[in-house]
Amino acid sequence: MKFLCVDCDSQMSFAERQLPGDGTLAATFKCPKCGRVVAMLTNPMETQLVSSLGVEIGGRTVPEQPLQTIRSAVATGREDAFDDGSREQGAGSRTSWSADALQRLDRVPNFVRGMVKRIYADYAKERGIAEITPAVMDTARSELGLEGM
Amino acid sequence: MRTYHDLTDPDRSGLAQQIGAQRQRVAERLAGVGRIVAVMSGKGGVGKSYVTAHLARALARAGKPTGVLDADLNGPTIPRLLEVSRAPLTAHSAHVEPMVGLDGVRCISMALLLEDGAPLAFRGPSAESFVWRGAMEATALREFLGDVEWGTLDTLLLDLPPGMQRYVELCDILGTPPAVLTVTIPTPESRDAVRRAMRAAVDRGSALLGVVENMVGGELRGSAADELASEFGTPVIGRVPFHPSANAWDQIADQVSRAPRTAHRAS
Ligand SMILES: Nc1ncnc2c1ncn2[C@@H]1O[C@H](COP(=O)(O)OP(=O)(O)OP(=O)(O)O)[C@@H](O)[C@H]1O
Ligand SMILES: [Mg+2]
Ligand SMILES: [Zn+2]
């Protein structure tokens, strides 16, 4: 998928991705010549089609987790299907979790929680963020395209 | 106005590169697997899963490390056949470990991940779910292939559901078509369905390892295996009665372990 600024005959570049939380996706593209910005808005079915391929519009920003699509998309997963081993999570980083961030994490289904925790920890580590707060989680969710996590 | 192929700047999404990276991940993960064998038949209920599980056990008993990937995502039966425990799967940052069942056979299956008795259901818009459901299942298969760390395996058996869809997905994901072992029952109905599957496998370039005729010696009449074998120039590598003894599988296992090793795609 590419966007062309017809006036400038110039290929637009990906700028930003947003997930409003209603199953839709917004991705903005900017013309490097004239600065014009357009947004591509996809409906829930189109958004799902892209995520069902295990790819991310705008590119991958953290490495793909094992069984990532299965864990984020299966609705009938067992509570205790995975043991994510707490020792590995955020290993080697000094990232900590605020109390409200942990509370929010507790609301994530067990089937995917360990993986989500690792993704946020990787994200924070990459950006040198010392404490994961709900605000950090919101930004990460959008930036990483973690619909439904 | 310029069209898609005229625009040569790398687009940052790089969807094609992301797909390429997924394929690469599968190739690297399976590099230590000597032989990839898809067990299939165009027909349901002929004993694919039963044959897969018992063949895997016989291979393992013969000292050949063996894994089974249950590619029947909607009707997974392998964990029960291998008596795999319901313990959690250990997930690491880059892979998950397979479970271990009877005779040390390693196994991954959707049944290990789902609530008891629950169907495989996905989150997402229910309207027009047919549009994305197939892609989701192919992705789940790709993740099983790319993310389960089998270690060194002599043989990885894939238990396919009836029909050809999963086989086609498998060929796309692997890049090279897997060797195919077909299972039939003696009847002409089974022969006709399995013929279609074998033809599709040959068209895709799979090597045929042979035909296993299951449920022989009972009420079922016909000679499906002999007819298919002569049509396709492939051996009948086993005839399995109802409730066979364990050594009935040894001969089949022996034949399978003589098959050429999978030539992994150069990465
Ligand atoms: N040789 C056999 N002796 C006794 N029972 C058998 C034999 N082969 C298969 N069965 C039983 O028959 C039933 C169907 O077999 P199985 O589930 O392996 O078929 P399948 O081809 O995998 O079916 P599906 O197409 O639904 O995946 C199972 O209950 C299995 O245990
Ligand atoms: Mg089966
Ligand atoms: Zn412009």
Hey, are the CB atoms on B113 and A77 less than 8 Å from each other? yes
Answer whether residue B142 shows pLDDT above 50. yes
Residue B94: closest CA among B173, B148, B150, B27: B148
**What is the ipTM for the molecules in this complex?**
0.92
Q: Candidates 3.40.50.300, 3.30.460.80, 3.40.190.10, 3.20.20.140; correct CATH number of B33-258? A: 3.40.50.300
Q: Which residues of A touch B133 (CB under 8 A)?
A: 52
Answer whether residue A139 shows pLDDT above 90. no
Q: Percentage of chain A surpassing pLDDT 90?
A: 42
Q: Give this prediction's pTM.
A: 0.92
Characterize B190-216 residue by residue with b for buried, 16 or more Cβ atoms within 10 angstroms of its Cβ, and e for exposed.
Answer: bbebbbebbebbbebebebbbbbbbbb
Answer whether residue B39 shows pLDDT above 60. yes
Q: Which residues of A touch B115 (CB under 8 A)?
A: 76-79
Q: What share of chain B is helix, strand, coil (3-state, %, to 5)?
A: 40, 20, 40
pLDDT category of residue A16 using cuts at 50, 70 and 90: confident
CA distance A121 to chain B (A): 11
Residue A40 sits at φ, ψ, to 5 deg, of -100, 125
- Beta-bridge partners for B208: B180
Helix and strand numbers (H, E) in chain A are 5, 8
Nearest alpha carbon, ligand 1 atom 10: B47
Give B10-15's long-range contacts (Cβ < 8 A, gap of 24+): B11/A1, B11/A2, B11/A11, B11/A13, B11/A14, B12/A13, B12/A14, B12/A58, B12/A59, B13/A1, B13/A14, B13/A55, B13/A56, B13/A57, B13/A58, B13/A59, B14/A59, B15/A1, B15/A53, B15/A55, B15/A57
Complete domains list, chain A, with CATH: 1-56 (2.20.25.420), 83-149 (1.10.8.550)
Within B62-179, residue ranges assigned H as helices are 78-81, 130-147, 165-174
Regarding the beta carbon of B70 and ligand 1, being less than 6 Å apart is answered no
pLDDT digits (tens, 9 = 90+) for A42-101: 888 888 888 888 887 777 777 789 999 999 999 999 999 999 876 445 455 568 999 999
pLDDT digits (tens, 9 = 90+) for B55-108: 999 999 999 999 999 999 999 999 999 999 989 999 998 999 999 999 999 999
B residues 142..161 contacting A (CB < 8 A): 142-144, 147-148
pLDDT category of residue A148 using cuts at 50, 70 and 90: low
Q: Give the ligand whose atoms come closest to the C-alpha of residue A33.
A: 3
Q: Per-domain residue ranges for chain B?
A: 33-258
Regarding the beta carbon of B218 and ligand 1, being less than 6 Å apart is answered no
Secondary structure of B28-76 as H, E, C letters: HHHHHEEEEEEEECCCCCCCHHHHHHHHHHHHHHCCCCEEEEECCCCCC
Average pLDDT across chain A, whole number: 86
Answer whether residue A147 shows pLDDT above 70. no
Average pLDDT across chain B, whole number: 93
pLDDT digits (tens, 9 = 90+) for B191-237: 999 999 999 999 999 999 999 999 999 999 999 999 999 999 999 99
